[in-house]
Structure 1
């Protein structure tokens, strides 16, 4: 993938995403990584682009996919929904000094994660929705990347939730939900997978209000106070 800040052609869906996310992060200069092989499933980067916005409080990065909704022209039969009806987002903090390179450059490992998930979605005809759990079977940070070493990353699963900041928008091609990916550990995945969507959103909001995925964190179940929150929601008790 290459880092770019513009694209050619008439792309009303693409422009709608740019405007909406840019309005939420007006002072950030986006880093846009475009694919040389968009939509080619035999290539490692089938998503047309991933744009990364710098965030503050906490300092870090917001990754947004481009290509699971209809970016260029309307091709699906459902006028109410753009493409699969969503784009993926992921928010990560700046890592401890020296582990992700320069602080003004977004880490590359989430790009690889996005392209892998994008390949799955494009090949399966969707595949993700609010409340879905994904067991990656391995640490979410791949080996030989600019993130933590896999053995130092306890997050091996993902939860899909409505993005708490970006929500849902209407485009000329239909509606589009920004679907936030939140990294979880194996024991968190097991504890939360039976919690209903509304309660799941509320639970994770208590645990991590901004839905920031920190690949260096330990399990919430190792923290006595946060473990109480998970147990409460697992029992169906909401305050």
Structure 2
């Protein structure tokens, strides 16, 4: 990315208790090699393509893959938001990819295309004063993976659903609480069903479809899968187990 850089040691967080809290929480759940940190040269500048201060990508195990976490929608440094119980907007975004290769191995560096996606969503949140919550649906109207990027070609996923992160959940920091919102990518035909579900059905439906909240950008529609199509149709009919 032209305006971001991979700097695992490039950001001084000694005066950033919110940042440190996120680091501690995520590495407790996903202990692995040194994370890849992509720090923006233009944090909080809404006329720039990378307004989030940073996105950190953590290596995951069992299964192997990548976990992307945003930094900057909660309060990373001093407390300034008026609500003492919430840190900033009260959330950060997370996004999880499977292993890069069919044998389950990872490349040296994580894919870059999710960074642009999360920065765009961060721009939306910063410019609208939040804009995301559990159950929020965003129809991209285009493939999740842009053509010509370092992701798979012909991606069928074209919408995102926000749900509480199944692994990270919610934490309390010195600046207030924050919820990690996992971005779940879906196809247009899946969205047609999911968009009609109430939050109380939407979250368990997605948990049944993909319990770890991993986004495989190369997958086809769940409606073409004999087992997962049954889950979607059951929730469409209002039948929950």
Fold-level similarity (TM above 0.5): yes
Residue 82 of structure 2 corresponds to residue 77 of structure 1: yes
Match in the other structure for 1:177:
179
Report the 3-state secondary structure (helix = DSSP H, G, I; strand = E; otherwise coil) of the residue aligned with 1:201: helix
Aligned residue in 2 for 1:226: 228
Query: Which of 190, 212, 217 lines up with 1:210 in the alignment?
Result: 212
Q: Report the counterpart of residue 10 of structure 1 in structure 2.
A: 15
Distance 2:100 2:220 in 1: 14
User: Does 2:33 correspond to 1:31?
Assistant: no
RMSD: 1.4
Query: How does 1:78-227 map onto structure 2 within 5 Å?
Result: 78-96=83-101, 103-149=107-153, 152-227=154-229
| Cα displacement string for residues 112-135 of structure 1 (whole angstroms, at most 9, x for unaligned residues) | 101010011101111110001110
2:240 alignment partner in structure 1: 238
1:46 equivalent in alignment to 2:51 = yes
Give the SS at the match of 1:18: helix
Normalising by structure 1, report the TM-score: 0.94
Distance in 2 (CA, whole Å) between partners of 1:4 and 1:17 is: 17
Cα distance in 1, alignment partners of residues 69 and 186 from structure 2: 19
In structure 1, runs of 5+ residues without a counterpart are none
Check conservation: 1:28, 1:55, Cα contact below 8 A.
no
Alpha-carbon distance, 1:93 to partner: 0.8
Once structures 1 and 2 are overlaid, which stretch shifts more, 211-220 or 192-201? 192-201
Decide whether the 8 Å contact of 1:76 with 1:83 is kept in 2.
Answer: yes
Note the residue ranges of structure 2 that are not aligned, 5 or more in a row: none
Assess if the C-alpha contact under 8 Å between 1:68 and 1:86 holds in 2.
yes
Superposed structure 1 runs of 4+ greater than 3 Å apart: none
How far apart in 2 are the matches of 1:154 and 1:96? 19
CA contact under 8 A between 2:145 and 2:152: conserved in structure 1? yes
